[in-house]
Amino acid sequence: MRAGASSEVLSATPMPATTRAAFVRRDEQGMFEGMASKDKDPRRSLHVEEVPVPELAPDEVYIAVMASSINFNTVWTSIFEPLPTFGFLDRLAKETFWGKRHSLDYHVVGSDACGVILRAGSAVRNWKVGDEVTVHCNYVDDQDPSSHDDSMRSSTQRIWGFETNFGGLADICVVKANQLMHKPAHLTWEEASVNALCNSTAYRMLVSRNGAPVTQGDRVLIWGASGGIGSFAVQHVLNSGGTPIGVVSSANKVETLHELGCLHVINREEMDYRFWKDPHTQDESEWRRLGKDIRALVGDDPDIVFEHPGRSTMGASVFVAKRAGTIVTCAATSGYMIEYDNRHLWMKLKTIKGSHFSNYREAWAANQTIIDGKVVPPLSAVFGLEQVGEAAYEVHHNRHEGKIGILCVAPREGLGVTNPELRASVGERRLTIFRRHDRE
């Protein structure tokens, strides 16, 4: 792989029986019991060791993972919250013949990957050994009728590497052929590995008709605007002709967003909003203060609020959204038991719209925005697979910006670009906005 072997050479080379992989262990799922979330340490629960390469189903491929990334779902898996993920694997094992492989005493995590196809099962039609690919994480049974009018509505829909085994934080991963997409040729392996999950999620929320699509002139409030999904949300709003109002928690992040083209940014640390007086009581005057700050910046209330912090912000999000506006939510990082004042929702005809990852078409379209250079990867740091616990710790404690890439088979950063002309036209500076050390 590292020497750029041809498809013929790869096909003729025997598959290894084992692979290096990052996993949590079933017998450790109780290790953090009784501890506060912040004290649960992914560096203790994520292990990197050799595990057997599973048998390949006919509709699957093996990928040599050149690079992968940390998503928040790996943080959830590694701290066993809100539930240990072994229950997901056991349920999958009960459903299908090939599903049985997933119920193991270890769970190989990771929901992003970029690499090269090593083997393709007999039912794989559009891809072959040697193809350079990225992977989206929507894992659906295409023989389930409920997965055919938006696969995210499928009753068997799962997130690969979170609700399935054999995820992307490994040297070899296993994915279904309908998770494959072309690797953007102007990106390095690590840049190309950080996009699929977060970009597709933000695309469905803000571009697709299945979310709250932005139209020209819309004002969109984006929480965590320099984080994983937020950094893609900002770019989709700009590309759709809307005006993003980013919320972040440091001056560095404000600077990052300005470089990305997001002119209106609120530093929530500086503004010190206290939406909660105590763990049970919210403060409407603080919601009102945020609303005034948004109006001062963009002259109106937000048509759309891009929500994911959950309990700490949802009351404010429902309050500040414009009359008949939409709050589109895909998560609840700070707590999923949500409280908001329903009078502000019904009297002002607002909508709360739930959204989750994306279907294949949406992921493909989101990937096209990267291939075309219209959305840039928010890669901020790169770790080796052996440091996966450290990288997950950074994300757990909100010490990162954008996305953290993980080198797996790729021996070092900077490899994998096959279209340097396109790279030059997008611009090195724009492609490295989140790499702070690249700043002047």
Candidates 143, 398, 418, 425; binder of ligand NAP (CB under 6 A) is: 398
Candidates 29, 45, 69, 201; binder of ligand NAP (CB under 6 A) is: 201
Candidates 84, 184, 230, 325; binder of ligand NAP (CB under 6 A) is: 230
Question: Stretches 8-16, 92-100, 304-312, 359-367: which one binds ligand NAP (CB under 6 A)?
Answer: 304-312
Question: Stretches 67-75, 84-92, 96-104, 367-375: which one binds ligand NAP (CB under 6 A)?
Answer: 67-75
Peptide bond into 42 cis (omega under 30): no
Q: What is the CB-side half-sphere exposure of residue 220 using CA atoms within 13 A?
A: 33
Least Å from the CB of residue 389 to ligand NAP: 16
Within 10 Å of residue 360's Cβ, how many Cβ atoms?
A: 19
Select 243 or 359, whichever has its Cβ closest to ligand NAP: 359
Q: Is residue 80 close enough to count as binding ligand NAP by CB under 6 A?
A: no
Distances (CA, A) of 104 to 85, 100, 293: 11, 9, 51
Q: Is residue 228 close enough to count as binding ligand NAP by CB under 6 A?
A: yes
Least Å from the CB of residue 150 to ligand NAP: 14
Q: Is residue 223 close enough to count as binding ligand NAP by CB under 6 A?
A: yes
Least Å from the CB of residue 410 to ligand NAP: 22
Near ligand NAP in 234-273, by CB under 6 A: 247-249, 253, 268
CA distance 129 to 132: 9
User: Among candidates 372, 367, 378, which has minimal Cα distance to 425?
Assistant: 372
Percentage helix, strand, coil, to 5, in the chain? Answer: 35, 20, 45
Q: Is residue 330 close enough to count as binding ligand NAP by CB under 6 A?
A: yes
Q: Is residue 423 close enough to count as binding ligand NAP by CB under 6 A?
A: no
CB distance 382 to 391 below 8 Å: no
Q: What 3-state class would DSSP assign to 119?
A: strand
Q: Give alpha helix (H) positions in 299-347.
A: 314-320, 342-346
What is the residue type of 412? R
Select 247 or 375, whichever has its Cβ closest to ligand NAP: 247
Near ligand NAP in 171-200, by CB under 6 A: 197-198
Q: Is residue 363 close enough to count as binding ligand NAP by CB under 6 A?
A: no
Q: Is residue 72 close enough to count as binding ligand NAP by CB under 6 A?
A: yes
H or E stretch covering 48: strand 47-52
Select 62 or 88, whichever has its Cβ closest to ligand NAP: 88
CA distance 73 to 162: 7
Select 154 or 313, whichever has its Cβ closest to ligand NAP: 313
Select 309 or 416, whichever has its Cβ closest to ligand NAP: 309
Q: Please, what sign has the CA dihedral across residues 144, 179, 395, 268?
A: negative
Candidates 224, 242, 389, 405; binder of ligand NAP (CB under 6 A) is: 224
Candidates 331, 371, 426, 431; binder of ligand NAP (CB under 6 A) is: 331
Least Å from the CB of residue 330 to ligand NAP: 4
CA distance 33 to 214: 42
CA distance 134 to 185: 11
Do strands 18-25 and 47-52 pair parallel, antiparallel, or not at all (unpaired)? antiparallel
Paired with 305 in beta bridges are 221, 327
Contact footprint for ligand NAP (CB under 6 A): 71-73, 197-198, 201, 223-224, 226-230, 247-249, 253, 268, 308-309, 312-313, 330-331, 333-334, 356-357, 395, 398
